[in-house]
Amino acid sequence: MICYFLIIYLIYIQTVNTVLQELFHMNNNGWKIVGNKNVTDAVFRPYSLNGLMSHYIIGDDKVINVDSKRKDDSNLWYFSKQFPTNFSLKNSSIFSFTMSSFSGDFKNPNSPLSALIRVTNNVTNELIIFPVNHLIKKYNGSIQEFVVPMVHTLWLNGLNYTQIGVNHFKNVLQNVKQIDILGDWTRGNETMGLDNVLIG
């Protein structure tokens, strides 16, 4: 499985036409933090981290509302980007980004069923998700590049967490209103950085 994802990524970086590229050279490029008490602007940081993140955005946890049964944080926050009408990801093959934690206890994570990526349709508001438990390895909060194939068999219906067909997948991607990338990895407070968002 690891080799499969690696081969896809190597082909991607050599041949793909980039649909979205967010490198945050000068500012936050309109990214928000959603899922906290209020929607806020992601904070721009013009610094470099080990050469892997250079000029990035950060967000942190403002609300910890623990579910009494599951002990998970029931209010998850996300890095979020909205798009104008007719923004299509239909022909994309890879969704990648770099992330790092600045604080947080990653030995106490939220549910692996949490959505790592959410994509919302602009017309129907239908939601598709790539769940955390579809990652190849568990995230420990260190600087890491995430590479997610845009393959319908790896994504789920965001309403009921069921498998989706290729037509459903393409229809949602045809006209995208919003993408969200998980920041709320743990059951407590965390501060996360995001950089190098590429979709193509």
What confidence score (pLDDT) does residue 61 get?
Answer: 86
What confidence score (pLDDT) does residue 74 get?
Answer: 62
What confidence score (pLDDT) does residue 94 get?
Answer: 96
Specify the 3-state DSSP secondary structure of 51. Answer: coil
CATH of the domain at 194: 2.60.120.260
The number of distinct structural domains making up the chain is: 1
**What is the 8-class DSSP label of residue 17?**
P
The C-alpha atoms of residue 102 and residue 186 are separated, in whole angstroms, by 13
Instruction: Provide the residue-wise pLDDT of the chain in tens; the chain has 200 residues.
Output: 444 454 555 554 555 689 999 999 999 999 999 998 889 999 999 999 988 999 999 999 877 655 556 556 568 999 999 998 889 999 999 999 999 999 999 999 989 999 999 999 999 999 999 999 999 999 999 999 999 999 999 999 999 999 999 999 999 999 999 999 999 999 989 999 999 999 99
CB 103 within 8 A of CB 189: yes
Q: What angle do CA 110, 177, 93 make, to 5 degrees?
A: 75
Model confidence, pTM: 0.89
What confidence score (pLDDT) does residue 2 get?
Answer: 43
CB 142 within 8 A of CB 100: yes
What confidence score (pLDDT) does residue 182 get?
Answer: 98
What residue numbers bound the domain in which 27 lies?
2-64+71-199
From residue 105, how far is each of 49, 133, 186, 189 by CA, in Å?
20, 18, 6, 8
Specify the 3-state DSSP secondary structure of 4. Answer: helix
